[in-house]
Copies of this chain bind each other. A is one copy, B any other.
Amino acid sequence: MQIPGQGQPGAAGRLYNFSAGPSALPAEVLQQAADEMLSWHGCGMSVMEMSHRGKEFGSILAQAFADLRELLAVPDNFRILFMQGGAIAENAIVPMNLIGRRAGFTPKADYVVTGTWSIKSQEEARKYGEVNIAASTEAQGFLSIPPVAEWRLSDDAAYVHLCTNETIVGVEYHEMPMIGQDSGSVVVADASSHILSRPIDFSRVGVVYAGAQKNIGPAGLTLVIVRDDLLDHALPITPTAFNWRIVSDADSMYNTPPTYAIYIAGLVFQWLKRQGGVAGIERANIAKAQLLYDYLDSSAFYVNRVDPACRSRMNVPFQLRDATRNDAFLEAARARGLVQLKGHKLVGGMRASIYNAMPLAGVQALIEFMREFERTSA
């Protein structure tokens, strides 16, 4: 009933896990974490037991910062922050730190709404200032990304917020939009569900943030990458622990950081480097997504309705044309070791999240199963 998964046939009973998050991690990362659990590098302590101020954890943190900077080619004028609260907390922390940045203007920000996550983000920002919806695809069912030329950006906005991959509907920006450098605004991107799956053009963005639990590591860690001229604009009501300047100046140790989650993230960064870095994993991600979308488009039994130009490489929702077969599909998939395929309740049907840690073999196994399920459903 269970098959070896996640690219490590030796790990008994591992499944192909299509969860949207928290989601699959590379088996070799988990194996290393297990091996080092009671004594990291022979130091006599678990990483969980180390003082965050000690030299052991200090070396783990420094390596994680350096590897991430290398992987994403983060420019020198950007700071990397390890925070807490996930993207949902950061939805408040972003406006707290940024919406008041334009002296002489009322606090205001533009939001581009492309799905559930950007809806949540703009709702949260309204607590701290004025929100202008620059564009929305809600009327079209969130099946595409609105062209930048049609965005109605404000002259006085502190920033324009995007969710660059919408996990639930499965739409993705395949290019970081360019907004006028002289507009005084700056792009803020919630990249939670596709960070590290592809390069980021930092010349077009001021802030990128992401919850860890898709492509980085365990839930409970939030990554924020912020241009250094954007650190000093926090509203007075910003909690000290969430003030980007203070977090940055303290090397993410103003409060005790989520040390074990940072350690696992560091192991994932090392694993990514062994996959050829972001360029290498992007090639794999393109291949995996293409295989699955090609199959969906060739099938009369399954359907994905997203505009092909905006389809997510990470989250692939699909419907059975006969929705009464949904439960049978999920049950049969589980019996084949293909798990967490149920679609989000807002969309229904199925969703295959094929993040960095999902091997090509997992996508192949899914397609093979889907073909068979179609055959036996005839």
What residues make up the interface of A, taking CB atoms closer than 8 Å to B?
2, 5, 11-15, 17, 19-25, 27, 30-31, 33-35, 37-39, 42-46, 48-52, 54, 84-89, 91-93, 96, 124, 127-128, 211, 213, 217-221, 236-242, 254-261, 264, 337, 339-340
For residue A13, which residues in chain B have a CB less than 8 angstroms away from its CB? Answer: 39, 42, 44
Contact residue among B44, B86, B259, B339 (Cβ-Cβ distance under 8 Å from A84): B86
Number of copies: 2
Q: How far is the CA of A43 from the CA of B85 in the complex (A)?
A: 27
Name which residue of chain B comes closest to A255, CB basis.
B88
CB-based contact A256/B219 at 8 Å: yes
CB-based contact A128/B51 at 8 Å: no
Q: Closest approach, in angstroms, between the C-beta of A327 and any C-beta of chain B?
A: 15
Q: How far is the CA of A242 from the CA of B13 in the complex (A)?
A: 38
Q: How far is the CA of A81 from the CA of B38 in the complex (A)?
A: 29
| Apart from the given pairs A88-B254, A89-B239, 5 other A-B contacts in the complex at a CB distance below 8 Å | A30-B37, A86-B255, A88-B241, A219-B257, A220-B260
For residue A261, which residues in chain B have a CB less than 8 angstroms away from its CB? Answer: 218, 220, 258, 260-261
CB-based contact B45/A256 at 8 Å: no
Q: Closest approach, in angstroms, between the C-beta of A224 and any C-beta of chain B?
A: 14
Name which residue of chain B comes closest to A51, CB basis.
B19
Contact residue among B5, B22, B49, B91 (Cβ-Cβ distance under 8 Å from A25): B49
Name which residue of chain B comes closest to A236, CB basis.
B127
Q: How far is the CA of A14 from the CA of B240 in the complex (A)?
A: 36
For residue A5, which residues in chain B have a CB less than 8 angstroms away from its CB? Answer: 44
For residue A37, which residues in chain B have a CB less than 8 angstroms away from its CB? Answer: 30-31, 33-34, 37
Contact residue among B17, B51, B84, B221 (Cβ-Cβ distance under 8 Å from A22): B51
CB-based contact B241/A85 at 8 Å: yes
CB-based contact A259/B218 at 8 Å: yes
Contact residue among B38, B127, B213, B219 (Cβ-Cβ distance under 8 Å from A34): B38
Q: How far is the CA of A361 from the CA of B54 in the complex (A)?
A: 24
Name which residue of chain B comes closest to A213, CB basis.
B256
CB-based contact A48/B30 at 8 Å: yes
For residue A92, which residues in chain B have a CB less than 8 angstroms away from its CB? Answer: 239-242
CB-based contact A48/B218 at 8 Å: yes
